[in-house]
Structure 1
Amino acid sequence: MKLVTFITPKGEQHIGALGADESTIVDFTATDPSQHFRDMLALIDGGDPALDAARKMRDSARSVVVPAAQQRLLAPVPEPRQMRDCLCFEKHLRQARASRMMRDDPNANVTPEDIKVADVWYKQPIYYKCNRFSVVGPEADVEWPSYSQVLDYEMEFCIFTGKGGKNIARDKARDHIFGYAIFNDVSARDAQAEEMTGMLGPAKGKDFDTGNVIGPWLVTADEVANPYDLTMTVRVNGQQRSSGNSGDMHHKFEDILAHVSKHETIRAGEFFGSGTVGGGCALEIGGFLEVGDVVELEVTGLGVLRNKIVAPKLN
């Protein structure tokens, strides 16, 4: 199922699933008033029984169906219980560092192959914790933070956990994945570069309102046969910028869940990001964002996540 959270014309927040042609939404909240369908976290918390009930509603002729075009989509999980974003694509890491070194010293002759990657990166997934309250969804405006002059998109995809656990075995980790979505980790690159010289972070390079964009929907795990063979395409103002593949992840989501859950309990409804696919940001390939740009991130089977960059609001 392609699960959505949306605002109705009456201003009510509901959840549901897209119809077969994506022009309609089966409204779970309006069809069934039980607690499992009041929001997406409640559905996730309901486990397999709630998901089975949702599938029956999606296929039932008696369910409430509404036109998708008349609803405003939010992020499928507007406030994740926790957010961790990883750095799992070696090509991104090498290209980003080489590009930054070249900008700092135009006379430098540095290639991605020259970059020394720390041994720990290969040993374990590296991640930071995002601000879970700065999440927005498809078609939402991304507000340029006033303290930054260099704004960037980052093409990622993500998982949401369907059940919690501690010390999760890697070969059992996929059982904990509820579904997949697209993630745009919008980054204030100048703020990020400065703060990380302090040997901690990122912080304000990532944490600003509207900076975490998730959507357009949450695709349940049963509909993603192989999450490591997905084409990840970036377009800005309709022009393709890059195309990569999720199979290039060095650490897979199973590795991430096994690592993070070591002596740490994770819970249902948590978010884990893949990190940026190789070539999936302007830091690597050039072309930083400008006010008015429209960014589209497309991932096979997960839809298109589209957002406009707008000027900062100084209030």
Structure 2
Amino acid sequence: MRLITFLADGRHRVGALLDEDTTVLDLTAAAPDRPEFRSMLALIESGPAGSARAAELVADRPSTALIDAKAIRWCAPLPRPPRVRDCALFTEHLSAALREMARRQAAAADDPDAAFDQLMAGGRFTLHPLFAERVLYYTVDPLAISGPDDTIAPPEDAAELDYELEIAAVVGRNGSDIAPGDAGGYIFGYTICNDWSARDLQLKLMQTGVGAGVSKDFSTTLGPCLVTADEVPDPYALTMRARVNGEQLSLGSTASMTHTFAEAIAQFSRVGGVYAGEVIVSGTVASGTGFDAGRHLKPGDVVELEIDRIGTLRNRVAL
């Protein structure tokens, strides 16, 4: 199934996409007494029984609950996820990004080349071997989730907004001490993530060593839909693209992941467990930013992230 959260009568509702995403079946309206359709999180938490009931409604297509997909306001599939971890499942991008950040920091020196060599020799801009050994991540603010077609405004005093092309897996059930071979079965589905960054603020904050902070926490976009795992036979063979105003700037593939979502779930389950509805984001695919392409986003730019079998996530930069 291809599931969405949309806004109607002032509250979030759960829908299933039909007819090549042109029609929405309002699951909340089709079964108003069923608690599993009160929110996307409730549907995920209801487990196989809730998903089976949703599949029955999709097959029945009750006409009173069908809506034109263009007539509703789409929201993030999980507007308020219980937890979001942005991981370094792709590591190739990180190495290139660190070198570019070092080069930018060195640019203000009297001898930029010497300053760059000194920064790289210090090790802070070289990818640590631990990134290849285990899944490293940072926690994303779940209160700052945005959705498809939302306008994205950079934080105050930021001048260089950037997109990041990422895929995310949503955990389908609670678990702890999950065996690596079983971890893939804990994935409910997949969505697209735009992990927006304020590059100029990020570069300043990196010099302090305290983390990304406001350069990341102002917005993380999920959408346009949540595609159940059965609809994605091989999540590690998906083409990923990013366009700005229709021009393709990024092209990558989930095949280039260093770590899998299953590895992340197995690792996270050993400390504190994983929970239904939590979002595990891949990190950025190689070439997956404007930073990589030497392109700065401008007010009014339209950013589109597209991933095979999921769709296209579109946002506009605030004027």
What does residue range 63-74 of structure 1 map to in structure 2 within 5 Å? 64-74=65-75
My pick for the range that moved more, 93-102 or 225-234, is 93-102
Q: Distance in 2 between matches of 1:245 and 1:203?
A: 28
User: Partners in 2 of 1:152 and 1:234 — Cα distance?
Assistant: 12
State the match for 2:243 in structure 1: 235
Aligned to 2:113: 108
SS of aligned partner of 1:301: coil
Matches of 2:61 and 2:93 in 1, distance apart?
47
Give 1:253-272 correspondences, 5 Å limit: 253-272=261-280
State the alpha-carbon separation in 2 of the partners of residues 168 and 289 from structure 1: 41
Kindly state the Cα deviation for residue 150 of structure 1 after the two structures are TM-superposed: 1.4
8 A contact 1:128–1:202 mirrored in 2: no
Matched residues in 1 for 2:221 and 2:157: separation?
Answer: 20
Match of 1:248 among 242, 248, 256: 256
Deviation at 1:101, TM superposition (A): 2.4
Distance in structure 1 (CA, Å) of the matches to 2:231 and 2:201 = 39
Matches within 5 A, 1:171-250: 171-208=181-218, 211-250=219-258
Give % identity.
38
User: Shift of residue 258 of structure 1?
Assistant: 1.2
Partner letter of residue 207 of structure 1? D
SS at match of 1:133: helix
After superposition, residues 105-184 of structure 1 pair within 5 angstroms as: 105-106=106-107, 107-108=112-113, 116-184=126-194
How far has the Cα of 1:135 moved from its partner? Answer: 0.6
How far off is 1:98 after superposition? 2.0
Cα deviation digits, residues 199-253 of structure 1 (max 9, x gap):
2312111111xx1100000000000000000000010011000100011110110
Letter of the 1:25 partner, please give it: V
* Conserved? CA contact 2:91–2:131, under 8 Å: no
Partner of 1:205, secondary structure, is helix
- Residue 143 of structure 1 deviates from its aligned partner by 1.2
Helix, strand or coil for the counterpart of 2:249?
A: strand
* Counterpart in the other structure of 1:93: 94
One-letter identity of the residue aligned with 2:36: H
Give CA-to-partner distance per residue, 1:79-103, whole Å, 9 cap, x none: 0010100122222012112222232
Structure 1 gap segments, 5+ residues each: none
Instruction: Give me the TM-score of the superposition, normalised by structure 1.
Output: 0.93
Separation of aligned partners in 2, 1:60 and 1:246:
34
Does the CA contact (< 8 Å) of 1:134 and 1:207 recur in 2? yes
Q: Distance in 1 between matches of 2:308 and 2:267?
A: 27
Q: Match of 1:300?
A: 308
Q: Which residue identity is paired with 2:68? A: P
Between the aligned partners of 2:231 and 2:206, the Cα distance in structure 1 is 39
1:285 is displaced (CA, Å) by 2.4
Partner of 1:290: 298
Task: Identify the residue that residue 52 of structure 2 maps to in structure 1.
Answer: 52
Partner of 2:28: 29
Residue 216 of structure 2 aligns to a residue whose secondary structure is coil
Give the counterpart letter for 1:23 in structure 2. Answer: T
Question: For 1:200, what is the secondary structure of its paired residue?
Answer: coil
Tell me the amino acid that sits aligned with residue 5 of structure 1: T
CA distances 1:157-194 after superposition (whole Å, capped 9, x unpaired): 10110001111111111111000000000011122222
Partner Cα separation in structure 1 for residue 113 and residue 153 of structure 2: 34
TM-score by length of 2: 0.92
Match of 1:13 in 2: 12
Given that 2:98 and 2:126 are in contact with CA atoms closer than 8 Å, whether structure 1 keeps it comes out as no
Structure 1 position 13, deviation (Å):
2.2
Q: Is the 8 A contact 1:91 1:279 kept in 2?
A: no
Q: Note if contact 1:3-1:76 (Cα within 8 Å) is conserved in structure 2.
A: yes
Asked whether the equivalents of residues 15 and 28 of structure 2 are also in contact (C-alpha less than 8 Å), the reply is yes
Give the aligned partner of residue 62 of structure 2: 62
For residues 24-55 of structure 1, give each alpha carbon's deviation from its aligned partner in whole angstroms, at most 9, with x where no partner exists.
Answer: 10110001011100110000010000000000
Larger helix percent: 2
Deviates more, 1:270-279 or 1:82-91: 82-91
Residues 170 and 258, structure 1, Cα contact 8 Å, conserved in 2: yes
Structure 2 counterpart SS, 1:15? strand
Give the secondary-structure state (helix, strand or coil) at the position aligned to 1:295: strand
Amino acid corresponding to residue 141 of structure 2 in structure 1: N
Secondary structure of 2:4 counterpart: strand
Deviation at 1:289, TM superposition (A): 1.1
